[in-house]
Amino acid sequence: MKEIIKITIALTISCLVAGLVIGTTFLFTAKAKQQNEHLNVQQTMLGLLGYGKDKPAPPALKLHSIHRYILQDAEATRMGYIVPVRRDNGEGFTLVVLDLKGRFLEQHPLELTAETALSGEDRKKALAAVVAPSMVVSFADTAIIACREGKREAYLLPGEFPGFKTFIKAMVAVNADFGMLGLEVIEHEEDPGLGGEITQDYFKNQFVGKSFETLKGLKVVKEPLPPEYERYLESLGTADGELSEQEIAEMERLYREKDIYALTGATISSAAVTNGVKAMVRKFAYRIQILDQAVATGDIPILF
């Protein structure tokens, strides 16, 4: 009987030690994984803004994230934005609360740092400390504002939309006037060789240079992609000098305001991306203008 008890105790201690080791390892690897994902996203964002190994981002470039939440209780539904702000002791974050008509209601300073604001769990804890216990807080989306010397240069919009099979995750970059700077497809399950071609430059780069007005009415056409246009699309973002300045100017004149040429045999996937990008940009353009008005009303010292 004593031997059985000894064995049981030994096994229990072994399990506790193993659990502690596994748990500790998970915590460290999860943090490392989160950091790697953040670095990958940041590289994608800089790439969409035209920066990379050959053209490093200028030190003056700042990327500010704003996180949108839906706040619900028995009385009403509100919108909440976590925004970076100036404080007497440096920089911090504030929750800006709006009603569904976009009117400013209130603001709450948050206990967040630039590092903890990257974590959804840390943001959730910070929000729980300032909203009523009865409030249901739901994450909606994130947008990134690229600024240089206090001036907005671009908006980066991560998002997802329905594809032919499952959801397509993408990131869109637009300039200060919401004109298209670039598109990156992050994740998808479209058919290889068909809808899977949405990741190719000759498809993604068709969006580059479209004005906001053109983007809002953008459609997909079932016509063969002109060879000279495809050559131009493949050359965007490269430094090989394959096309002359005159050829580039001519391609932009002919095709910048044109609709999107569908991928061969994948019209549904082509339309899914086109409609998804349109919706992302249109909704953001509306929301950021509403947020700007609310911030001005509340006299909030935002960093962007």
139/183 same-domain check: no
30/65 same-domain check: no
165/252 same-domain check: yes
Give the residue from 101, 116, 143 where a domain finishes.
143
Q: Does some domain include residue 67?
A: yes
Cβ-contact 144, 117 below 8 angstroms: no
**Number of structural domains in the chain:** 3
164/259 same-domain check: yes
pLDDT (0 to 100) of residue 243:
86
Q: Does some domain include residue 298?
A: no
Q: Does some domain include residue 299?
A: no
pLDDT (0 to 100) of residue 66:
98
pLDDT (0 to 100) of residue 72:
97
pLDDT in tens, 30-48: 555 556 666 788 899 999 9
For residues 159 and 188, give the distance between their C-alpha atoms in angstroms, rounded to a whole number. 12
20/86 same-domain check: no
Q: Does some domain include residue 131?
A: yes
pLDDT (0 to 100) of residue 241:
64
Cβ-contact 304, 147 below 8 angstroms: yes
**Three-class SS of the chain:** CHHHHHHHHHHHHHHHHHHHHHHHHHHHHHHHHHHHHHHHHHHHHHHHCCCCCCCCCCCCEEEEEEEEEEEECCCCEEEEEEEEEEECCEEEEEEEEECCCCCEEEEEEECCCCCHHHCHHHHHHHHHCCCCCCCEEEEEEEEEEEEECCEEEEEEEEEEEECCCCEEEEEEEEECCCCEEEEEEEECCCCCCCHHHHHCHHHHCCCCCCCHHHHHCCCEECCCCCHHHHHHHHHCCCCCCCCCHHHHHHHHHHHCCCCEECECCEHHHHHHHHHHHHHHHHHHHHHHHHHHHHHHHCCCCECC
Q: Does some domain include residue 124?
A: yes
255/277 same-domain check: yes
Would you put residue 241 in left (φ > 0), alpha (ψ -120 to 50) or beta? left
Residues of the chain with pLDDT under 50: 27
Measured CA distances, 280 to 40, 155, 172 (Å) = 21, 11, 8
159/272 same-domain check: yes
168/279 same-domain check: yes
Give the residue from 90, 123, 143 where a domain finishes.
143
164-193 b/e (C-beta count within 10 Å ≥ 16 → b) = beeebbbbbbbbeebbbbbbbbeebebeee
Both tokens of residue 103? 């009117």
187/274 same-domain check: yes
Q: Does some domain include residue 173?
A: yes
Q: Does some domain include residue 203?
A: yes
Q: Domain range holding 115?
A: 61-143
Q: Does some domain include residue 56?
A: no
Give the residue from 143, 178, 208 where a domain finishes.
143
200/228 same-domain check: yes
137/73 same-domain check: yes
Measured CA distances, 109 to 11, 21, 115, 255 (Å) = 49, 37, 16, 47
203/256 same-domain check: yes
